[in-house]
Amino acid sequence: MLEIQSLSLRYPNGKLALSNFNVSVNPGELVIVLGGNGSGKTTLLRCIARILMPTSGEIRVNGIDLSQLNGERLRCARLQLAMISQHGSLVKRRSVLANVATGALGRCADWWTTLGGLPKHELEAARGCLSEVGLSHLAAQRAGTLSGGQAQRVAIARGLMQRPRVLLADEPVASLDPEASHDIMRLLRRLAAEENLAILCVLHQVELAYAYADRVVGIRDGGVAFDLPRAEVSKDAVRRLYLSEAA
């Protein structure tokens, strides 16, 4: 479903952020990317979402190469790909339901939506997505009043509203307490299985990777250090990822 082949990114200052990176995520699979600070984890996700333009390589989502697309074609292709970030990135002054419903904007081209309204049927669908993340009781609440864990769940619900095939999660449990972190990871695990989503998730918490990942990808200096099923990832291999950061 998501196939990254020989992806490289060199910044204008000459720094190589990603080097010949290869990874694939199948439907229903939760792949967790581990790596030290500055190893290229977030850059990888930003490249896949085409926030950053890769220098070379392919980003295939459902067979379509995003790396070569621009403008309207890129916007349409992006509909298959949802991304959640560290802090949810919700519009704080809007209601939780409206925030979730904005996930459908990509497929709404009517005047009402253009002027800031949201179609009734999409609001109904948003209620369904909210209920899927267990927050339907907060629909009318303002997004700015949510806790970190709740905001992250709402962001996931907004991602689901897109009806994506691939979900990218950039440190979705950063700044959450352990219980909330496990809640979010359980939710991602369930969505991968039930919605048949391909999920690529960047994490710093090694124990969460061991607990929830189907596969773990280690990233070091912008390249793949290892790509193994969870059970085959040794603690030494993980330690080496972070040792290189300390050095």
Partner 1 sequence: MSTADIRRVPLADDTWGHALTMALRAVGVVLVALVIVQSLIVVEARPQDLITGIHGMADIIRRATPPDFSKIDTALWPALETVDIAIFGTLAGVMMAVPLAVLAATNVTPSRALYYVARGIIGFARAVPDLVWALLFVTAVGLGPFPGGLALAVHSIGMLGRLFAETIEHMDMAPVDALALTGARRVQIFTHGIVPSILPSLLGISLYRLDENIRSSLVLGFVGAGGIGFQLLTAMNLFQYREVSLLLIVIFVIVLTVERGSAALRARLA
CA 123 – CA 100 distance, rounded (Å) = 8
The answer to whether the CB of 100 falls within 8 A of the CB of 148 is no
Question: Among residues 6, 64, 73, 91, which is the contact residue for partner 1, using CB under 8 A?
Answer: 91
Question: Among residues 18, 31, 47, 83, which is the contact residue for partner 1, using CB under 8 A?
Answer: 83
Question: Among residues 35, 54, 57, 103, which is the contact residue for partner 1, using CB under 8 A?
Answer: 103
Helix/strand/coil for 179: helix
* Interface segment toward partner 1; rule CB under 8 A; list 19-27, 80-88, 126-134, 210-218: 80-88
Q: Does 87 participate in binding partner 1 (rule CB under 8 A)?
A: yes
Q: CA end-to-end span of the chain, whole Å? A: 36
Nearest Cα to Cα of residue 144 among 188, 183, 87, 182: 87
* Interface segment toward partner 1; rule CB under 8 A; list 33-41, 153-161, 195-203, 237-245: 153-161
Residue carrying structure tokens 């979730």: 100
Positions in 14-53 near partner 1 (CB under 8 A): 49, 51
CA 4 – CA 7 distance, rounded (Å) = 6
* Interface segment toward partner 1; rule CB under 8 A; list 7-15, 18-26, 100-108, 214-222: 100-108
Question: Among residues 17, 44, 125, 155, which is the contact residue for partner 1, using CB under 8 A?
Answer: 155
Radius of gyration of the chain (CA): 18
Q: Which residues lie below 8 Å from residue 208, measured CB to CB, with a gap of 6+?
A: 32, 173, 181, 182, 185
Taking the complex as a whole, how short is the minimal distance between the CB of residue 75 and partner 1, in angstroms? 5
Decide whether 39 or 162 has the Cβ nearer to partner 1: 162
Decide whether 76 or 243 has the Cβ nearer to partner 1: 76
Q: How far is CA 67 from the centre of its chain?
A: 17
Q: Does 140 participate in binding partner 1 (rule CB under 8 A)?
A: no
CA 174 – CA 168 distance, rounded (Å) = 15
Residues that bind partner 1 (CB under 8 A): 49, 51, 75-76, 78-79, 81-83, 85, 87, 89-94, 102-109, 113-116, 155, 158, 161-162
